[in-house]
Structure 1
């Protein structure tokens, strides 16, 4: 079965379009017009507004997989997937069957689906203005951070049936690129994900991304490679000035020395589709791996982890056990090659998180009722699993993850919100949110449920605190002031003391 990653290949016309009315329409996503190709038409068919699936999925940062043999379309999501078939009025959404008002059909190589299905399957708000012929799409519950899926282990790689476009063509020698001015690299267009950074350490390839994208990954047997495809993605100007880059070939190479699995990482623009970025790991032999996304609010880290066969070692700071104290773990989100959200003036979330976390630590050290442990005390990057594992192995009494938020394309969004996952964590989140929101004075965005990895993996009450929005100019300026951070740090400690009944 051949799976082709496509911007939708030509599909055979299903002949289903009866009583079809073509309209001259616009499609808006969060108030911004989506550029449409001539073939991207909206039609009214048997009373259903039918919209082009590919262009909408792309602008929501989702990849599309076309199975030519079975005429099926798969859209992987961060959690679950959408699967549908041309001419079939049922679809699978996150593993559950769903009936469409009108079956998907083809129009000149474009797949059309009911507008209502877009809402139900992709979690976006939809409107249809019949008088002006405008389709409106609203991102679901922006600006909540996107949930982080659990790693999906691969089998030992087999030959990839996917397209052979790689940043380094398989089986050919690639000369090392020379550094070139970044001006030759186009700035990522609006709606395009940007590659901000790339590193390889501890047997992990880490790709720092700004924007929403569904990475696609496949393997090649000869020579052995792991290939990551990032649709609707471009290299940020900052990437091409800090990494080895050849503006003529639009590619570069990251050398990996002394690693038993990987010799180098090639990166570049696909020679098949200029809107796709490719990352190719050159392997010594076929190797099992896991891949997952870490991050929130449009700023994320895509990780290809070659450590799937052995557990990650965890270094736990010593704590005095059996002294009756409560052990508190403070987690400063992001770090090192993962900057987190980038603010209006370029400030990085990782710096805010660490600064506030260190202030909380200093206050807790003065409290005799608590032991305090930090997941990081400098610009380092413990994985999300490791952060939770530190708390788990300590038998910690509570886990607190500190973050700042971002709402891409929505500079007016602002406020404080607090997350929990397990029922046992709800009371902790409620208490912490009361104190933190009172200290920030920002808009109250309430306590919310989400399955972030540090929360789902933690075995004790745990909460993730989004203090404010770096994408809002006013809040960005406030977040980095010492007076504000001292006030919020005191509020966090006050919340911890109230939760544990410490006076």
Structure 2
């Protein structure tokens, strides 16, 4: 009986929403207090989602836009963020992470139209919808979540039936592409999810149910053939009622970092990196540990080794050893430093969350 009432409620809400949208003869989009003017095609509402011409909205939000006609794909890029949408596809990507769309990009009025809320919220903006008479207004504004705070700030205010927040790493840097979910404590297997944008922000709209919600999330860290799923740590780990909404921020604390060692040949002495045999020796408490001697290998992004625990100090030596030839000593240096030596010491430095890297040049 209860499930029937809930199903009926959602049917009514959907019908009411569609009826309201059908009655709206005009759709206005307001960005930071200024109404956007669409010259090529006007915004439309389909299946409860506002669609707008892709180039206008991307450029208004500060993106550089690229259209791939052969793939029927639009890409918007700006600092730390890339959004990619494909015509008639219900999947998009945000910084390489796949995200589901309620309404796919499509042709309308001879223009390529994309979902407004998806693009806006994944670029760190809040979106609100209102209808008055025959006019529907969508208002886009900067998110009120404090950047890099990792916790509620003085400017934050919860919105009924909305949970939002930010994901940062342990140093306070925003984490893009993390998946955050709201777990409905009343109905089984009815989680709602969102993916953080380039500034680490997310926002989830909650249905108007008398229930409480718990928040969680994770981040998939990939490097070559290795993948780690890192659970997000909630700053405020307690349930909340949907009618009050909530601000829930998270911290990503990777327990393990992947160490990537990149090997380059000296530009004035070019040779194939695969002709090099490396000996890498860990240094612990000032003492040398067991050395690792191996040839490097190709992995996504470069050539070298991915098998070293990050965070340590290492000594490295090299030999020039094409297959079938007698190995000859080679010189090494940390990339872009001044002097080549028979051996050098290096440490890894942070590249992105959960991945550390070091770069070594080798010269015959």
TM range (shorter): 0.3 to 0.5
Structure number with higher strand proportion: 2
**Whose radius of gyration is greater, 1 or 2?**
2
Return the structure number with greater helix share.
Answer: 1
Normalized against structure 2, the TM-score is what?
Answer: 0.33
TM-score with structure 1 setting the length: 0.25
